[in-house]
């Protein structure tokens, strides 16, 4: 057997897990401190099952309605799934999101904070929340402005949200490292331990700069339309 054979047999999941481990070693971190969120948005249940069969249990969806259609049955078949909402959330979907998801990554405005706080009070469920920062100050992207981060965190805490950390999506087609480093600095200043940053093209860079959650879609599932992470 040649040395190339085991590598050739690697699944995409194996490759991503190995990449996270390598980046963590470079940064003097433990790979176990990084959560791989398999971004299953736009992909049907039959495309998700192979990862579940391989033992992966953390997945990300962009829309409440899509997740409601796919995940109740999958969770029955595969206990222990943790589901993360990584897309923008409308305030009127707060109750549904709190009921379904274990973490919400795009808390980006006071009205959503208020809606989530009320939903958590009604349901008793308290999914982890990440404040999304518009780290590149891009008009077309969600997220609060950098200057507004402390105030939004304070409002979220006052509303009873369990604020775990910060999340960002750097500008496309530029070096992401400075943006990841800035998000890490903002999190340290706020005393927040978690950083949701890094996608298929840059997750290793994100891990070297402190990411605790990386959101990987196309590298696991293959691209589908323009929605893959």
Q: Confidence class of residue 222 from pLDDT cuts 50, 70 and 90?
A: confident
The domain segmentation of the chain, as residue ranges, is 33-221
Q: Confidence class of residue 61 from pLDDT cuts 50, 70 and 90?
A: very high
194-217: per-residue pLDDT in tens? 999 999 999 999 999 999 999 999
Instruction: Calculate mean pLDDT across residues 72-87.
Output: 97
Residue 83's alpha-carbon distances to 25, 174, 187, 194, in angstroms, are 27, 30, 23, 16
SS3 132: strand
Structure confidence at residue 4 (pLDDT): 41
Kindly report the CATH number that applies to the domain delimited by 33-221: 3.20.20.10
Instruction: Kindly report the pTM of this predicted structure.
Output: 0.93
Residue 133, pLDDT > 60, answer yes
Structure confidence at residue 225 (pLDDT): 43
Angle between helices 149-158 and 110-123 (to 10 degrees): 20
- Residues 133 and 167: beta-carbon distance below 8 Å: yes
What letter would DSSP give residue 126? -
- Residues 91 and 113: beta-carbon distance below 8 Å: no
Contacts of 171 (CB under 8 A, 6+ apart): 136, 138, 179
How much of the chain exceeds pLDDT 90, in percent?
Answer: 90
Q: Confidence class of residue 224 from pLDDT cuts 50, 70 and 90?
A: low
Q: How far apart are CA 58 and CA 81, in angstroms?
A: 6
Residue 2's alpha-carbon distances to 5, 6, 9, 18, 135, in angstroms, are 6, 8, 12, 20, 46
Structure confidence at residue 109 (pLDDT): 97
- Residues 86 and 60: beta-carbon distance below 8 Å: yes
CA atoms within 13 A on the CB side of 60: 25
Burial 182-207 (b: 16+ CB within 10 A, else e): bbbebbeebebebbbbbbbebbbbbb
């Amino acid at each position: 057997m040649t040395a190339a054979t085991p590598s050739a047999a690697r699944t995409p999941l194996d490759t991503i897990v190995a990449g996270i481990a390598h980046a963590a070693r470079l940064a003097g971190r433990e790979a176990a401190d990084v959560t791989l969120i398999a971004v299953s948005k736009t992909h049907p249940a039959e495309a998700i099952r192979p990862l579940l069969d391989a033992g992966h249990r953390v997945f990300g969806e962009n829309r409440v309605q899509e997740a409601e259609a796919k995940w109740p049955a999958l969770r029955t078949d595969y206990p222990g799934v943790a589901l993360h909402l990584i897309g923008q959330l409308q305030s009127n979907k707060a109750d549904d999101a709190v009921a379904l998801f274990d973490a919400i990554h795009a808390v980006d405005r006071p009205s959503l904070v208020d809606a989530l706080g009320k939903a958590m009070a009604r349901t008793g469920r308290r999914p982890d929340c990440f404040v999304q920062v518009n780290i590149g100050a891009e008009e077309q992207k969600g997220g609060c402005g950098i200057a507004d981060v402390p105030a939004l965190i304070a409002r979220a805490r006052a509303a009873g949200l369990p604020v775990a950390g910060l999340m960002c999506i750097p500008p496309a087609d530029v070096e992401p490292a400075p943006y990841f480093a800035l998000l890490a600095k903002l999190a340290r200043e706020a005393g927040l331990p978690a950083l949701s940053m890094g996608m298929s093209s840059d997750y290793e860079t994100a891990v070297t700069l402190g990411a605790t959650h990386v959101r990987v879609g196309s590298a696991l599932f293959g691209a589908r339309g323009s929605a893959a992470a």
